[in-house]
Structure 1
Amino acid sequence: MIAFGTYDAARHPRIAVLIAGLRAHGVKVTELNRPLGLSTAERVRMLQQPWRLPVLAGRLLRCWAGLVGDAVRQRRAEGRPGVVLVGYLGHFDVLLARLLYPRSVVVLDHLVFAGDTAADRGAAGLRVRLLTGLDRLAVSCADLVVTDTEEHRLMLDDPAKGVVALVGAPDGWRDGPASGGTTGEPSVDLSVVFFGLYTPLQGAPVIAEAVRDAVAAGAPLRVTMVGSGQELPRARDILAGTPGVTWHDWVEPGELPALVAAHQVCLGIFSDTPKGVRVVPNKVYQGLAAGCVVVTSDTPPQRRAVGQHVELVPVADPRALADRLAELCDPAVLAAARVRAARGRDRIRPQVVTEPLVAELRRRGAL
């Protein structure tokens, strides 16, 4: 099998999870990877602002030239691959993969629908229609499409072409002890962390209102907010004057697991946007893997994927979130939540989350 594309596993660990899981099932995976060097936000911004497209096109063509050379050398050394896995954000890469490997089974990891993501971030009209067309073109080039939730699989024009594999978390998130912030002398405060891009689906204003109200009511919280993006200014305004809140605009990907593991509670997403009720975000899986108690919104995909192991609250409800955080300040309640969370760590390992993909490829005779 070839893992192919301009993906960046350090910024977007989904592809790393799939590769690790496939290898754990005994599949030989050779990576042909030329990272594009653009974040999700930068790619979406370029697609929304046509005058930026020449930059994207230039970078893409340089990466593709390298990939073509890599593919030629790989073909000479190992022959035609049975399966080509195109990594996350591979809307364009899958076109090249189809051209280079016309007789291989091309698998597209379609974690993000470009049109859906742009709409969630405020785009409308022609831009969304063009990006939706790009989604359809990318999917049409693949033989099998991997999505992260059943809701996303059903968004495909042909859902039978899809297979659901949970996002999971890289093993690097488990390297440290599952301490949930209990190393050293325990703090009297409940330590809480949120990290993300502050997009509408994450519901950062809901988090901010909940933290503000919980602290005002006397809950002993120590909160770390990591990241930057569209709704950061509003979240900062809401939390202005609230004690115990620390802000980080950026944390290096290699440092993030240790930072999260140093907290007792990791926050997921809380909005009621259409996209927000269809996804299970990376941070939910990563928080569990890091040994935290995870609090997130009670949506069908999150309930189905990890509902027995996380603390669910109604969507877009700051009061409910504030109440749950206050409850977790009770050591007995927190201890029980930790037990539930610990039982979910093995369910999100790469080997487990890739089982449906491996089963489907074997059913097709591709492995």
Structure 2
Amino acid sequence: MRRIVRLGLFDAAYHRNRTTAAALSVAGAVFRDVHFPVLETIGDRLAPSRDAAALLAMAWRFALGEMRLAPRACSAIVWAQDLLFGYPGHWDIVGWAPLARRLGRRVLFDPLVTLTETFIEDRRLVAPGTVRARLIRWLDRLALRAADVILADTPQQAASWAALAGVPLSRFAVLPVGADERLFDPARRMQAGGRGDDLDCLRVLFYGTYSPLHGAETIVEAVHRLERAGERLAVVMIGTGQCEAAVRARAAEAGLRTITFVPWVPEHELPNWIAWADVVLGIFGATAKAARVVPNKVYQAMAMASAIVTRDSPALRWLADGEEIALLVPPADADALAAALRTLRSPARRTVLAQAARARFEAVASDRARASRLRPLLDPSRPETGGARP
């Protein structure tokens, strides 16, 4: 099998990087990390989009990190057949791909998201058409064009990135995000025990970073409708982020009694919350990015055999492939979300949905299933020289 080095300043703890590494290992790759931690030490990663001084400080930290990485990186490139640049590795791939290609190594890129969709389209932290927006788009294009193989989590993302960078779709391989199966195990639901005496109270869970993608304000409006109708429910919203203050303010303004806001919790605690919930909520944003992605939380809830409600999208329908693995509602539609939650008061309905979600996870998003997607890329007969396409 092929020798792969994952190289750079990527966030080693990030979910996508861990699940891709797990799939590569199951597929039989000989896998090494050559990493220097920079991103893990930065608190507010969005600050450079708002402040020039923060941008310069981050650039300086990246430059120092690459210099410290260089002695190990050079020997690793000599050993490797493939170099993998993980999330968020735009600067890494632009810097190291020329040397890798000169040495005949294949360059793989697993960006998860582009900087354009994060800072300009979804979070709207940088105005389109500005100098910073043009620089961000330029870096995205350089990074995507530097790769021989680009891993995208959905076909919709692959098509969007191909158009952004002007590269052919043949350069892309689709690899679902998946979940850490050691953590998100359906057995955790059984270990959580019974529901106690209050069987009539529907327990609903949301967790996320409160970006526009998540559409958390739609959740608050749906809960408002349910409370006014006298529905009994307990809603927990976990996380911090860009839209959190506005969401909390709206919940306070509406006088909602059933929502409990919890600051971000360590990932290893999330399975306990999922096991507690009757229903796990996905995303409800109306942004273009929200239509192209399937978020971590949906895969994690699928892995744990949970009943899920999330927005309808081409990406989710691609993942489901005709199976009903979640209740789908239009984006930013609080009435539809409230109606879906009423439907899931039925334990039998939740069970059918949860079992379908778990079966679909095993078929397409488990480590085993994702490894099968990667094996053609790891074929020993595949050329080692840069320029090989999937």
Q: Would you say same fold, with TM above 0.5?
A: yes
Q: Give 1:161's aligned amino acid.
A: R
SS at match of 2:284: coil
Indicate yes or no: 2:214 matched with 1:202: yes
Which of 227, 231, 238 is 1:226 aligned to? 238
Q: CA deviation at 1:200?
A: 0.9
- Residue matched to 1:52: 54
Indicate yes or no: 2:157 matched with 1:152: yes
CA contact (8 A) 2:188 2:271 kept: no
Q: Give 1:58's aligned amino acid.
A: W
CA deviations on 1:184-214 (whole Å, 9 max, x unpaired) are 3444222111111111111111111112212
Distance 1:280 1:185, change over 3 A: closer
| Structure 1 CA distance for aligned equivalents of residues 42 and 113 of structure 2 | 9
Q: CA deviation at 1:17?
A: 0.7
CA contact (8 A) 1:288 1:342 kept: yes
- Residue matched to 1:173: 183
Structure 1: gaps spanning 5 or more residues? none
Q: Give 1:116's aligned amino acid.
A: E
- Residue matched to 2:263: 249
- Residue matched to 2:93: 94
Distance 1:350 1:140, change over 3 A: same
Q: Give 1:339's aligned amino acid.
A: Q
SS at match of 1:146: strand
| Structure 1 CA distance for aligned equivalents of residues 360 and 230 of structure 2 | 31
Which of 202, 206, 209 is 1:190 aligned to? 202
Q: Give 2:193's aligned amino acid.
A: T
CA contact (8 A) 2:7 2:34 kept: yes
Structure 2: gaps spanning 5 or more residues? none
| Greater displacement, 91-100 / 290-299 | 91-100
CA contact (8 A) 1:178 1:292 kept: no
Q: Give 1:111's aligned amino acid.
A: L
- Residue matched to 2:79: 80
SS at match of 1:193: strand
Matches within 5 A, 1:303-322: 303-306=317-320, 308=323, 309-322=325-338
Q: Give 2:303's aligned amino acid.
A: A
| Structure 1 CA distance for aligned equivalents of residues 150 and 244 of structure 2 | 33
Which of 361, 365, 373 is 1:356 aligned to? 373
Q: CA deviation at 1:112?
A: 0.8
CA contact (8 A) 2:236 2:262 kept: yes
Distance 1:354 1:59, change over 3 A: farther
CA contact (8 A) 1:115 1:129 kept: no
Q: Give 1:160's aligned amino acid.
A: S
Q: CA deviation at 1:47?
A: 4.0
CA contact (8 A) 1:173 1:286 kept: no
Distance 1:313 1:173, change over 3 A: farther
Q: Give 1:280's aligned amino acid.
A: V
CA contact (8 A) 1:86 1:93 kept: yes
| Structure 2 CA distance for aligned equivalents of residues 352 and 177 of structure 1 | 20
Matches within 5 A, 1:257-276: 257-276=271-290
Which of 7, 11, 20 is 1:8 aligned to? 11
SS at match of 2:194: coil
Cα RMSD between the aligned structures? 2.3
Which of 131, 135, 140 is 1:130 aligned to? 135
SS at match of 1:139: helix
Distance 1:267 1:222, change over 3 A: same
Q: CA deviation at 1:181?
A: 8.9
- Residue matched to 1:327: 343
CA deviations on 1:92-126 (whole Å, 9 max, x unpaired) are 01123314423210101121110121121122122
How high is the TM-score relative to the length of structure 1? 0.91
| Greater displacement, 43-52 / 286-295 | 43-52
Indicate yes or no: 2:140 matched with 1:141: no
| Structure 2 CA distance for aligned equivalents of residues 286 and 227 of structure 1 | 16
Q: Give 2:348's aligned amino acid.
A: A
- Aligned-pair identity in percent equals 33
